[in-house]
Structure 1
Amino acid sequence: MKKILNLFRNKGFVCYTTDRYNLDNVHFEPYQDEGEEFDKNKIFETDNKSGKFIKINNMNTSTSLFKFFLDGSRYTYKIAEMETADGKFMPIIAGQLATGVCSREEGKIKKYDLKRKNALMVYHQINSEDFIDLKEEIKKIKVNKIEFILEKYQFKNNTETRPENLAIAKIQKLMMGMEIDLLTEMVIVCR
């Protein structure tokens, strides 16, 4: 991240490093109701508090109804605060995204495909020319052979939504797009 932040600084942006932390483990606003607390003693979704297993009858099929399994994953991190031209301090958010498909063949699970990306989200008011230049420079940087992409997130002063959450939503949308792209590739290959 130091190399990336230096690119911002070389373009004249003032960036303040912050404690880098995983936002997925810190901010729960979109997923948790205000004042909601979880009782860890109540781990069951049903009244099966005894913890006994419930037997389910087999469906008498020799093969599974499902051959492919798709899943996406993303981790988000706050890496710095950037001072903007309009006097705000806006977060720069990094995301690690992955989308994978496993297939079941003869009772064994195998990797079918895996796509990964690293993403950086910056405040939408960044100068267009600087954004294009940064996007090209950042695209050249790779971590574990995975390139970075640079995108903007929208933030308006009249909203109560934290800018971090808007950046996370954009990263989530990128991950879902990766899932759709992977499914599209699978459909084309299977034709």
Structure 2
Amino acid sequence: MSNDHAHSHESGHDHEHHHHLRESETYYAARTKALESLFREKGLIGTDTVDRIIHFFEHEMGPFNGARVVAKAWTDPAFKARLMEDANSGIAELGLRDGIEGENLRVVENTASVHNIVCCTLCSCWPWPLLGLPPYWFKDPVFRARVVREPRAVLSDFGVTLPAGKRVEIWDSSAQVRYFVIPERPAGTDGWTEEKLAALVSTESMQGLALVSA
């Protein structure tokens, strides 16, 4: 799915959109806290269960996995070629598991001429093993509706302005396939270690909503 058309952006819309996203973040945080309290009250989960889940997402499944993949792709062209050909086999080379919600991954690469954005227009299909928990904005219905219709305006909301001649490609994740972006490597990072490079990579950049800078 592709879309490289810029659209008009009405005055005041940015403010309304960011306000809506802040409200969404507060809503999801409050809802999560309420559900956790209810489950504890009913004896369905204990503190140790919550702690194990938090540990899992902090140390085993999170955007640090995707950042490792990006850094390796930036420094090893042969690995990147294999990753682009078969994403699941590629991440397995790094000892990463695809697991549930990551069985059918596809990697797309941002270049000087093409910028890729990932969304899920139907729900919130997300590559959990590589990126961990999906952020609130990815699940936001306003984001899902606008990103296909006016991708450059949405990028502007995230602080990204692309050159007019750069093509924008939109990839719609689904239960069948989930997409992952290799962002452009920033200038001035020649000779950097993979660990140092990985520290530059954000969740947003691996879904095409941010650029990477050194």
TM-score normalised to structure 2 length: 0.24
TM-score normalised to structure 1 length: 0.26
